[in-house]
Chain A
Amino acid sequence: MVKKKKILFHSDFALSKTGFGRNTKAILSYLHNTGKYELVSLAGGIAKNHSETERTPWKTYGSLPISGKEAADCDSSQERGRLYAYGAFELDSVINLEKPDIYIGVQDFWGVDYSIDKPWFNKINSVIWTTLDSLPLLSSAVSEAPKIKNFWVWSSFAEKEMHRLGHKHVKTMHGAVEASDFKIFSQEAKQSIRLKNNIENDTYVIGFVFRNQLRKSVPNLLQGFKILKDSNPDLKTKLLLHTNWQEGWNIQKICGESGVDIKDILTTYVCKSCRGYEVKNFSGNEITCHSCKTENSCTTTGTTFGVSEKQLNEVYNMMDVYCHPFTSGGQEIPIQEAKLTGLITLVTNYSCGEEMCQPEAHSLPLAWNEYREFGTEFIKASTSPQSIADQLKKVLEMSLEEKVKTGKLARKWAIDNFATNVICDKIEKFIESCDYGNYENTEKKYVEKNPYVQIPYIEDSVLWLKSLYSLILKTDATDSDEGLIHWIEKLKIGTPRQAIESYFRETAAKDNDKHKAFKIEELFSGSNPEDRIFVSIDSNLENIFLSTKIISAIKEKHPDKKIFVGSSEICQAVFSGNTMIESAIIKNKEFEDPEFLKKNFFESYCLDSFCINNNHSVLIK
């Protein structure tokens, strides 16, 4: 029988409600059902050993630490926490354990770029499948592109620009959308759902399904909605914002500022107790469920807890039109979902939106003005509120027949370009073209840092920081590097360059210390080798306890000599308070060298491997 190829899919957890998570579920479910592959998922954003990971029929590794040093490190800063959530610190161990033939890293570029320089990356078939959403393209993605043999982007917007820059091997692979989950309801069915949610049939419902984050243009949409209302005072209309109200934009506040009546805003509540949902006016972050009556059990939807796909399909079917204004985006899956439910979609004509606004996609483009994002200088789109109002009006005035016809064409386009089987067919072809992975010579050697190097004066802050990375830490920092961004922020708030440079030097020195040969002279200063005895007991607690019987015997034999013990961190519980021991240390490799021991000690006892090294010979039992 032919050995199945093993695929490591590194992205958000398949059951999380993020775009990446839903893509993971769609792709892995499809590949699982073929029965042809061994699938492993390294799941971002979920704790190791989380019981939810057992729900998937493929093996799932969580990325977040549960306790101990790792957890403390994860909590030490936002940047570290994010890297842990991406799975940056779990990746190597999963690779070592699973030895996949194919690695597919699916995330924003800074969520997977650390894998590119791993020694295994080009030894196996590795894919970076990333979202690049703004011009100029993220410089690190552009500079790393030649190293990435299989570089996939989520939209043709990024592919076009990469090709223009000469990276012709970059290609578009859309995120997969489970088309079967989204259907066009009959008018009767739509009315019935509206009725359940107390939405009148003659209300013009404008929908937006989104994660409440900066790049979703909520203020612009509210302004556009206001213009529509003002120019059509008799229109019964509601804006349905299917999102989380506890993160991101303060929607209530912006409504007030824009003159939008909060009663005209609908949102989706989902119950943690009965898992039912209801679309209604926003009335707080935790409210009583109208169905099961559980107090404070209903919240607005989020990435960790939200509606099921079936319920989301119903939410779309309550809408008359779908409007998706954004500053930039990788793919914006809700646009395709809305198309699959036969809605006419209004989309900002920038970034991945360009593709959605092609004539065959049957969207109505939203005009936008360019602005530059502070710090990154990326081009971002500020969607015109007037354009939103105009296009909403256009749909409002369309005949039902035209809407239905356009909706059907839009649905077909979404299926042809984004449906799971279409995407997975391409992925399968790629997998079939790959050889099995090769893991020979993939160990990485330590590169010594240079804590004392002279740093030249560089005016530009970013270049100066990069010089610290390359000259002191002997590594390259890309523009999207979390650490680099952290230091840029520090400089902006006035941290002196000298303090940052000192930190880099200290880090380099500590790192070298960890890897360098132990400086024995520093530990033993003030005593002669003839006065010293070394006992090595690198073992578990009970063996360490037993060794105290030998240490006592040594002390009885040589009462004037100082006993140094080489052990591990756990020895402290047993050795503390033992006056027969001069010092207990964590030993390094030098202590395994008989010549070193002969030179530095009168006698050396190695109790961990049953041997003795005295001052004249090495005796192995």
Chain B
Amino acid sequence: MNLLKSFASTTGLQPSKSYIYEKLYPLDFDRYIILDTQSSNANFHYVFWFRVIELIEPVLSKHGIKIVHFIEDKKYHFNHTYVDNSTQLSQRAYLIRKALLFCGSSKLYSLIASENNIKQCFLKTDYSLDNTLVKDEEVIHSDKARKHFLNPTAAKINNIRPEEIAKKILKTLLDEDHSFDNTLSVGKVYSTQNLEVIPDCTFKIGNSSKSAKSEIVIRMDYLFSEENLDSQLSMEACAIVTSKAFNKNILINKKNKIKKVYFRVDKDSDSSFLDLLEENKINYDIITTLSGPDLDKEKIKFINYKKINKLNSLSLDFLEGLDKSKVYFKTNKIVIKSGKTFASKWHSKVLVNSADVRNSSFQLPPAIDQSFKDEADYFYFLTSEQI
């Protein structure tokens, strides 16, 4: 039972008009929608707004409609209007009443929108109490996981695929039907720009403006070649990922070329290499894919060094049952092997290279192995299939 109906039946009163004090919040435009893009409560915080906005913005701008964000403090890179937590509820109430549409998970803003007959796309995530007044057709539910979509958080709200929201906003606001390729998973480190070098040969990477932004990382944990590491460091300053100690002389002689060492902790790791790094004043971080008791067992060995940072490995279960030929992924990480660029370690294995990795889409490997799963957190998976 809706809470308001319950109020009405227990009090015997017919609910009347709500009341909230409003304060003027001037904007230099009047056709806008409000997106509630940040919530301090993780259960209400939606993490795929960037994709929703990428899809709706071109359509909205054709109609001369702007986007206003309700945020706590975090602004996106979009050139929009941001209303942060320095404003009062009364000002936000005013903005909602003047908006063309409200989209978000806040029940309070949804109630204010309902009371003012403002269109909405409400992301419902709290099912403990029925206390909104939004019409059913304006709700996107989050209680069930979407097929073939990976929620990277523990919050239900991120069960909602961003394309659903984009479509709903455009339909509700403009009565237009749009179709988009569907997101399957956005890796947590997708935005990180890396150049990962498998040290099977040595070559000059060059310093184009694109590669200059990226960190060059030599993956000694993929191929342990001290000879090539040594040669590569002679040419470029690089970071190194390794799970075991490498030659002390390389460390000493190429010290100034080593930007950082990422020491990967596996089961039964040996921490003594870190002493050598410290002795030689080489910057390092500790990383691992271990978890639970396996990780706790290793932690004690590393307590005198630094925090062990946990890397994420994806299961890729969301791909099951999909037409794999329609699935593709994008990446900002480039794997370099034998002087050629690849989208993943697998692509480098089968020698399917690409000249412009960051602006291309890539098919999945025919058989997905653990190493692809370990890399998958760098990828953004989509499908052109309409799910």
Contacts and interface: CB of A to CB of B under 8 A. Distances in A.
Given A271-B281, A552-B19, A573-B88, A621 B6 contact: yes
B102 to A, nearest CB: 14
Interface in A25-79: 25, 29, 32-33, 51-52, 54-57
B310 to A, nearest CB: 9
Interface stretch (A260-268, A414-422, A541-549): A541-549
B3 A56 contact: no
B299 A607 contact: no
A89 to B, nearest CB: 23
Given A546-B4, A550-B13, A610-B6, A52 B307 contact: yes
A556 B15 CA distance: 10
A549 B303 contact: no
B356 interface: no
Nearest to A537: B7
Contact of B19 (A14, A15, A548, A605): A548
Given A548-B18, A549-B18, A543 B3 contact: yes
A6 B271 CA distance: 29
Given A29-B303, A543-B131, A578-B21, A607 B281 contact: no
Contacts of B14: 553
B61 interface: no
Nearest to B109: A542
Contacts of B11: 550, 553-554, 605, 607, 612
Contacts of A576: 21, 90
A546 B111 contact: yes
B107 interface: yes
A142 interface: no
B306 interface: yes
Contacts of A574: 20, 89
B244 to A, nearest CB: 21
Contacts of A619: 10
Contacts of A546: 3-4, 7, 18, 111, 131
B96 to A, nearest CB: 12
Contacts of B18: 545-546, 548-549, 552
Given A541-B108, A610-B6, A29 B275 contact: no
Nearest to B296: A57
Contact of A552 (B16, B111, B307): B16
With a 10 A CB-CB cut-off, give which of A275, A542, A547 has the most chain B CB atoms.
A542
B154 to A, nearest CB: 17
A612 to B, nearest CB: 5
Interface string B290-314: 0000001101101110111000000
Interface string A561-605: 000000000000110111010000000000000000000000001
A546 B108 CA distance: 9
A55 B278 contact: no
Contacts of B281: 271, 274-276, 291-292
Contacts of A445: none
A33 B16 contact: no
A309 interface: yes
B8 interface: yes
Nearest to B107: A542
A605 B19 CA distance: 18
B53 interface: no
A611 interface: yes
A57 B303 CA distance: 8
Contact of B16 (A15, A25, A549, A573): A549
Contacts of A578: 19-21
B285 to A, nearest CB: 12
B132 A275 contact: no
Q: How large is the interface on A (under 10, 10 to 19, 20 to 34, 35 or more residues)?
A: 35 or more
Contacts of A553: 11, 13-16
A496 to B, nearest CB: 43
With a 10 A CB-CB cut-off, give which of B11, B15, B107, B299 has the most chain A CB atoms.
B11
A557 interface: yes
Nearest to A541: B108
Contact of B300 (A29, A548, A557): A29
A580 B21 CA distance: 12
B293 to A, nearest CB: 10
A32 B19 contact: no
Nearest to A289: B281
B111 A612 contact: no
A621 B300 CA distance: 57
A562 B336 CA distance: 76
A550 B283 contact: no
A438 interface: no
A565 to B, nearest CB: 12
Nearest to A52: B307
Interface in B34-50: none
B369 to A, nearest CB: 30
Nearest to A58: B296
A310 interface: yes
B112 interface: yes
A384 B241 CA distance: 56
A550 B8 contact: yes
Contacts of B325: none
B132 A542 contact: yes
B17 interface: yes
B155 interface: no
Contacts of B17: 549, 552
B245 interface: no
Contact of A54 (B90, B111, B297, B307): B307
B117 interface: no
Contacts of A552: 15-19
Contacts of B20: 545, 548, 574, 578
A610 B2 CA distance: 12
Contacts of A548: 18-20
Given A15-B303, A309-B304, A612-B10, A549 B112 contact: no
A101 B303 CA distance: 26
With a 10 A CB-CB cut-off, give which of A56, A574, A621 has the most chain B CB atoms.
A574
A607 B15 CA distance: 13
Contacts of B60: none
B282 interface: yes
A139 interface: no
Contact of A577 (B90, B299, B307): B90
Contacts of B107: 542
A411 to B, nearest CB: 22
Nearest to B110: A542
Contacts of B10: 605, 607, 610-612, 619, 621
Contacts of A52: 307
11 contacts: A14-B303, A29-B300, A274-B281, A276-B278, A308-B278, A542-B111, A542-B131, A550-B7, A552-B19, A578-B20, A611-B10
Interface of A: 14-15, 25, 29, 32-33, 51-52, 54-57, 271, 273-276, 291-292, 308-310, 541-543, 545-554, 556-557, 573-574, 576-578, 580, 605, 607, 610-612, 619, 621
4 tightest Cβ-Cβ pairs between the two chains A and B: A577-B21, A274-B281, A552-B16, A57-B299
Given A550-B16, A552-B18, A605-B10, 5 more contacts: A55-B306, A310-B278, A542-B132, A573-B88, A612-B12
